[in-house]
Amino acid sequence: MLCINSENTDPCFNLASEEYFLRFSDADVFLLYRNVPSIVVGKHQNTLAEINLSYVHEKGIRVARRISGGGAVFHDLGNINFAFITTGREGELVNYRKFTQPVIDALGRMSLEVNLGPRNELLLGDLKISGTASHVYKRRVLHHGTLLFSSDLGALSNALKAPAGQFDDRGVKSIPSKVTNIRDHLGESMNATDFQNLLMEHILDTAVTPKPRTYAYSEEDLREITGLCHSKFSTWEWNFGYSPKYQFRRKISIGEGTVELQLQVEKGIIRSVMIGGGGDSMPDLPELEKMILGCNHDPQSLRRRLSRISVAAFIPGLENEELLAALF
């Protein structure tokens, strides 16, 4: 088994590395990595419905999509991510107990009693320290998870504070959980790097079949992973556009009146627009709707699309940036 302690903190690179070893290698791999502040959504989620977009933009938090299912998770440099990638027999590939047990044992060495929860999360007492997910490709399986060691739990809460009631879709919804940091329960002082190294040492010391050995990315690995990172995991089309078809609704107050916004979005593209509630005072709303139609449901794309006009000419009292904020 190849044991990789990645020093790369780009979430898109690290997610690409998981897919690369899953699909284009026959080696068994154990991978540890950390990411800069990021939200990683599940493959079948509506990204915009899972994140606090204004907070994400304000704080410069990255947004990425993984190839496995499940809910959205927050990453930062206080969160350690682990991944097992292996070949197995059809029908026996997804086994959460098997792939979380080495991590549970490693934490046990640190005098922490951790258990696998009902949603395949890792629990320290009744508090969540890890979310896990799996993805099968032919006879290969990726099992990966997070480990909250010293994450900024305030940022986690704010970044995943999704808008309520604005999206109607069939995407997988995240289930909020009470969480805690592992560091707060340790009897000894260590930082995230120390903790990551201890996890790796445990796997190297205890894994039996196949025999583990440390491994560094080869030049070919880096070339292929970087290519996959650029062509897929760094793209708006994957991270946002891959979201399932959804409807977005919102009402905004302007003076004493109300304007209703409604979008139908498919593959990230606005397929229909309805702006109503203005009555006879806003006769040109169909023209504004046409300007929005066909645009990516993305703040920058819509800002460029509307940069040639003044929204107030169509909806008196509403500025361009106010409309943009209302569309998310």
pLDDT at 175: 81
The percentage of residues in the chain with a pLDDT greater than 70, rounded to a whole number, is 99
pLDDT tens-digit map of 117-141: 999 999 999 999 999 999 999 999 9
Residue 273: which of 287, 259, 293 has the closest Cα? 293
Asked if pLDDT for residue 208 goes beyond 80, the answer is no
Radius of gyration, CA atoms only, the chain: 23
Question: How far apart are the C-alpha atoms of 73 and 265, rounded to whole Å?
Answer: 24
**Domain assignment of residue 147, given as a range:** 2-241
Which CATH number fits the domain that encloses residue 40? Answer: 3.30.930.10
Question: What does the chain come to in residues?
Answer: 328
Is the domain of 194 the same as that of 288? no
Helices (H) and strands (E) in the chain, counts: 11, 16
Inter-residue contact 43 to 69 (CB < 8 Å)? yes
**Is pLDDT above 90 for 163?**
no
> Once rounded to an integer, what is the mean pLDDT over residues 198-217?
92
The answer, yes or no, to whether residue 100 has pLDDT greater than 70, is: yes
Averaged pLDDT for residues 242-267: 93
Q: Is 31 helix (H, G, I), strand (E, B) or coil?
A: strand
* pLDDT at res. 186: 96
297 and 193 part of one domain: no
Q: Say if residue 208 is in the same domain as residue 91.
A: yes
pLDDT tens readout for residues 276-304? 875 667 878 999 999 999 999 999 999 99
| Domain stop point among 241, 275, 295 | 241
205, amino acid identity: D
Q: Are residues 76 and 39 in the same domain?
A: yes
Number of domains the chain contains: 2
The mean pLDDT value for 75-82 works out to: 98
pTM: 0.93
For residue 171, pLDDT over 90 is answered with: no
Residues 282 and 262 in one domain: yes
191 band by pLDDT with thresholds 50, 70 and 90: very high
